[in-house]
Amino acid sequence: MSPPGKSHVADDVFNPKQPTGKPSPSKVPLPLPLAAMENDDDQILSLSLRPKRFEEFVGQTQIVENLRVAIQAAKRRGEALEHLLLAGPPGLGKTSIAHLVTHEMGAKITATSGPAITRAGDLIGILTNLEEGDVLFIDETHRLSKVVEEFLYPAMENFEIDFIIDKGPYAKTIKFHLKRFTLIGATTRAGLISNPLRSRFGMVYHLEFYKPQELVEVITRSAKILGITLEAEAAQTIAERARGTPRIANRLLRRVRDYAQVKANGKITKDVAQAALSAQGVDGFGLDALDRRVLKTIMEFYGGGPVGIEALAAALNEERDTIVDVVEPYLLSVGLLKRTARGRKVSRLAYQHFATLKDQRLELFAASNES
Ligand code: ADP
């Protein structure tokens, strides 16, 4: 492993004669678990719902305020914005913020993701094409390989990169000066970002789950854009069941609209919203089938816990990362799950929630019995 700031190692040599396998930034797949739950239409709609200006971005007020100050100051000094790391569960607005910042800076954005950059050479073309003040957005920053990460250090710090041409006796190091750009990293796992990388970001912000009232605003705005009329109480119902996440709020809104069109003459009342969400397997806490499977497995197979994450993932036949990135953060935030030194435990509140579901004999409880 080469020390930070040094040229990257020879097995990752950049050879201009060889195709680099450079990913086309616009075609980089984003293998986020939640993104996978959206079909193509959903993803196109998601793009149209993305806030275009900071005024349209709901919530996260402290972060937005800090960013606006930083942007204004950078613009006055005529400098690029400092590198920015955004952390938080999927769907909370990290990509949206990256686009908003770029827009406010009057810059261009190039988007890629950690797993898409397999070799340091993949980054050379991207970095050398950036203009002064441009933004390089790297989603899933925690999944950058060590070699690529170390290659990024001098680019972030001194806006220069070293790369080695050829191997053996003909090896030559070439230094490349870059324009001053802004790296915006997004991660669902801040804990997995190494200290040397984290320390090179001038700003690090953790996005929080949204309050139902904020999600009502998101839903009302999206409904307007999509031409959907819904009663205020229906927006409230969807907001309460959206796991504190704007992307889920927008997705549920679309599912409720479909249901209303087919079963209720298009009219979205509170009752219609409730029925549509139950039909989707979403309960009063906003939990979906996978959330309930996680809780029920801990209750039924592990006596309520504690259980280690690997054992839990194996019992569920699910990816460990899906549980850690997508399921757990919300269950922890609403107090249904606890994390202890010996593993995950369900709370008394979780038992109460399941008892209520059983009492109500909700249609969705049957749906959650799939495990
Ligand atoms: P992330 O990058 O954190 O996974 P995104 O920025 O892709 O999340 O957000 C997903 C969708 O949720 C966006 O397309 C946008 O429609 C919506 N969204 C996210 N945050 C907000 C917000 N604060 N206000 C309004 N809509 C939002």
Condensed to tens digits (0 to 9), the pLDDT of residues 97-148 reads 999 999 999 999 999 999 999 988 889 989 999 999 999 999 999 999 999 9
Overall fold of domain 60-206: Rossmann fold (3.40.50)
Mean pLDDT of 256-284: 93
**Which of 30, 43, 50 to mutate for ligand 1's pocket (most ligand atoms within 8 Å of CB)?**
50
d(CA 47, CA 49): 5
Mean pLDDT of the chain: 86
Any atom of ligand 1 within 6 Å of the Cβ of 210: no
- Looking at the chain, the whole-number percentage of residues with pLDDT higher than 70 is 84
User: Tokens at residue 57, please?
Assistant: 């971005």
Q: Is 269 a catalytic residue?
A: no
Which pLDDT score, from 0 to 100, does residue 46 have? Answer: 67
CATH fold of 212-279? Helicase, Ruva Protein; domain 3 (1.10.8)
Give 219's pLDDT tier (boundaries 50, 70, 90): very high
- 164, pLDDT greater than 80: no
Q: Which residue in the block uniquely carries the two structure tokens 């925690």?
A: 142
More confident residue, 277 or 20: 277
Find out whether 49 and 250 touch, Cβ atoms under 8 Å.
Answer: yes
Q: Are 134 and 178 in contact (CB under 8 A)?
A: no
Cα dist. 132→24, 264, 370 in Å? Answer: 21, 54, 54
Distances (CA, A) of 139 to 110, 187, 249, 269: 11, 6, 22, 37
pLDDT band at 171 (very low <50, low <70, confident <90, very high): confident
Give me the pLDDT at residue 14, please.
34
* Ligand 1 centroid from CA 96, angstroms: 5
Delimit the domains of the chain by residue range.
Answer: 60-206, 212-279, 286-360
- 139 given a catalytic annotation: yes
Q: How confident is the model at residue 41 (pLDDT cuts 50, 70, 90)?
A: low
Copy the structure tokens of residue 118. Answer: 């397999």
For position 165, what pLDDT does the model report? 77
In this structure, whether the domain defined by 286-360 belongs to CATH 1.10.10.10 is answered with yes
The residue from 241, 243, 247, 293 that is catalytic is: 247
Q: 3-class DSSP state for residue 340?
A: strand
Share of the chain above pLDDT 90, in %: 72
pTM: 0.84
Ligand 1: does its nearest atom lie under 6 Å from the Cβ of 95?
yes
Banded model confidence at residue 173, pLDDT cuts 50, 70, 90? confident
Question: Residue 301: pLDDT above 90?
Answer: yes
What is the C-alpha to C-alpha distance for residues 252 and 232, in angstroms, rounded to an integer?
A: 15
- CA-based end-to-end distance of the chain: 44
Per-residue pLDDT of 305-347, as tens digits, reads: 899 999 999 999 999 999 999 999 999 999 999 999 999 999 9
Count helices and strands in the chain by DSSP H and E runs: 17, 9
**Residue 92 in this model has a pLDDT that exceeds 80:** yes
Ligand 1 atom closest to residue 99's alpha carbon, by position in its atom list: 6
User: Amino acid identity of 248?
Assistant: I
**What value does the mean pLDDT take over residues 221-250?**
95
For the ranges 2-6, 62-66, 77-81, 304-308, the lowest mean pLDDT is seen at: 2-6
Other C-beta atoms closer than 10 Å to the C-beta of 314 total 11
CA angle 63, 67, 72 (to 5 degrees): 155
> Could you write out the DSSP letters of every residue in 112-177?
EEGGG--SHHHHHHHHHTPPTT-EEEEETGGG--HHHHHHHHHHHHHSEEEEEESSGGG-EEEEEE
Measured CA to CA, the distance from residue 88 to residue 81 in angstroms comes to: 21
Task: Using alpha carbons, list the distances in angstroms from residue 195 to 81, 129, 312.
Answer: 21, 28, 29
- Per the listing, tokens 């441009």 go with 134
Strand blocks (E) in 153-211: 160-165, 172-177, 182-187, 203-206
Among all chains, which residue has been given the structure tokens 């704007």? 246
